Amino acid sequence: MDIFSPADVLVLKVAFGASVAYGVQKLISHTSQKPVVEPLIPPRSKTSNLTSNILATPSRNIKTELKRTRKSCMIFYGSQTGTAEKLASIFAKEALFRFGVEGLVADLDNFDYDDLLSLSEENVLVFLLATYGEGDPTDNSISFDRYCANLRSKTDLQAHNLHYASFGLGNSSYQFYNEMIKRVDSTLSGAGAHRIGSAGLGDDADGSLEDDFLTWKDETLPQLANHLGFTEQERAPIVNLVISETKSSSSIPLFLGEPNAAHRKGKLRGPWTNSNPLPARISESREVFQNSPRKCLHVAFDISDSTMTYETGDHLGVSPENSNREVERFLRIFGLFEKKDSIFNIGSEDPTVKLPLPAYTTYDAATRYYLDICAPISRYILGSLVSYCSDEVTKAELLRLSKDNVAFEKEVKNLCLNLAQFLEGFGSSTLWNSVPISLLFEMIGKLQPRYYSISSSSLQSRKCISITAVVETQKNDEWSHEFKGVATNYLLAQHFQIRGPNALEPTHLLSGPRFRNTAMSSLIHVRRSKFRLPKMNSVPIIMIGPGTGIAPFRAFVQERAWQNSAHPAGRTILFYGCRRRNEDFLYEEEWRQLETSFKPGTFSMHVAFSRQDPTKKVYVQHLLNQQAEELRELILRQNACVYVCGDAQRMAKDVFTAMAQIIGEDNAFDGDSQAYLKTLKKNKRWLEDVW
């Protein structure tokens, strides 16, 4: 079977010059011809009902847009990292495939909500909303959250014709678990609207988010379809995207990894955002672990020639690229390696579907810069591949794993394999050549930036931003497989390249689109945070951050020291945890130097070494108990602010429990200590930057 079916082909009538073709082809050729090493795991014993030719300008009015696109369902997503958007697309696709329900996947930020409550019962709204931080809406949901808050202040609402479905993406490690979807559900039901199915709550704390979504989807879709008058029936698989290959030409806007048209043209200007990141030169890259098999990098980016600004406590987004090894593996598995530099055009038969790639690019650029080919596999993807597998044994295996959650977790998820790595285990090099590339590109999410707490002070270091990142590497002993984090290993490759071309065999291209990255830079942008120092430097602060959770506190202490001469700092206490003093004590010398910037007794640091004594593990919560008397004084009587940074699932909970016990033991305190700490959170005196 050919990779491109007739339904996947668009007819292009463009004249191509031979000389231009040669030049562009030379420019776009990246990948080595050397084959990927042996497989990581041993061998295992035409679209339909798509709306087209919708030419009218999109409207911000929900009713108008539903009518314009001839959809009966609008699927809103509130997404910070792209997951909710991806799940919304899956929901829309399955609604059409199984029931013939045409849904419009929509960014909440692209609409006004004045007519939301007056929608007729012939339409359904679906909300897939992530909760960000401590119960906050995602950036594209802020306006909708304000709208809901305004609705809750009214008592005469009549929304009895509105029907909706809701699913939240959250993490139960946080206090305000799935708070955003809970607020929305309460608001709409309180206004008289009718929810279809249950309010789904997806939990990322234990990795069950996808399973939670699939369970909710399978329960909700039949009820939604029934309400709209549709019944389930067998239909052809739905593939919205259409891909056609073409030849190189100066007349087409060819993207080779650039994030937008301005980057492609070399005309860069702010504001610097996720979609328009700044190419910032790496001014410093050094390892900050001493005698450890693990690696941790301190990376500083020069922003002196840009308009980029940041505030202490913000996050830095780094846009990575996939490694040579994984790009080649993916291309070979799906029969694309020999044509990796071929140019293709991507479009959609449904103009309301958002394209995951620029209109013109190459297979190499798509898999290197634009698609998250190293993402964990989902049961949904495995189930989608079943129809295109010609081997009956393999087909049965894919079907089993896509249906059996327990087997999937044991045999797929726990191995930490990406899609191409997993499919290698089925042997045949041509087994997956019949999978439509349009389907693959539709299922695989976009390569998203990774975010890191900024470890520099914006007052002391205005023109340079630094981060502190442990290089993510996990070994699977059963298969001798090593999982490598995409972004940190990209930064590690840059680190070795800066040290010298012979420091290590190159793992990434690094030269960037059109070989423009000659100064070793990364694409970065700043994400604003609420993790802020008190406005008054005299307010006492208590900082708790094991491991790389110390990163923002390096910035905090730098800033307090910088301001100290003009505005004397209040009590500044840092609780830090690592394994061993001579192994992973981050910035040890810097802390000694910073202490001299304060008056004696102002700054103190308490360090827990969890592996120093093999007979006794010491963690930061143990150190809190040792300083209980001063902590009670600072929090209860001096209005100190508390900051926690690091692991949300264990550390942050243990710290909260320990601190509640400390507060509860105060002789003058009469009340519920946990409720008191929750009040501190509400009043922004207890702030967390956890993951």
Backbone phi and psi for residue 414, each to the nearest 5 degrees, phi listed first: -70, -15
Determine how β-strand 315-319 pairs with β-strand 521-527: antiparallel
The catalytically annotated residue of 453, 456, 466, 521 is 453
Residue 182: beta bridge partners? none
Residue 521 annotated in active site: no
**108 with 77: CB under 8 angstroms?**
yes
Q: Which of 349, 247, 240 is nearest to 16 (CA)?
A: 247
Measured CA to CA, the distance from residue 39 to residue 67 in angstroms comes to 50
Residue 432 annotated in active site: no
The catalytically annotated residue of 466, 591, 645, 686 is 645
In the chain the first and final C-alpha atoms are separated, in Å, by: 45
Q: Calculate the CA 647 to chain-centre distance.
A: 16
**325 with 40: CB under 8 angstroms?**
no
Eight-state DSSP code of residue 308? -
- Copy the structure tokens of residue 599: 């008056």
Residue 153 annotated in active site: no
Measured CA to CA, the distance from residue 503 to residue 518 in angstroms comes to 17
The catalytically annotated residue of 292, 479, 604, 691 is 691
Task: Note the helical H segments in 468-511.
Answer: 486-499
Angle at 339 between CA 379 and CA 249, to 5 degrees: 120
Backbone CA torsion sign across 256, 258, 262, 266: negative
Backbone CA torsion sign across 74, 213, 77, 275: negative
**324 with 494: CB under 8 angstroms?**
no
Measured CA to CA, the distance from residue 367 to residue 330 in angstroms comes to 8
Residue 691 annotated in active site: yes
H, E, C per residue of 531-564: CCCCCCCCCCEEEECCHHHHHHHHHHHHHHHHHC
Catalytic center residues: 453, 645, 689, 691
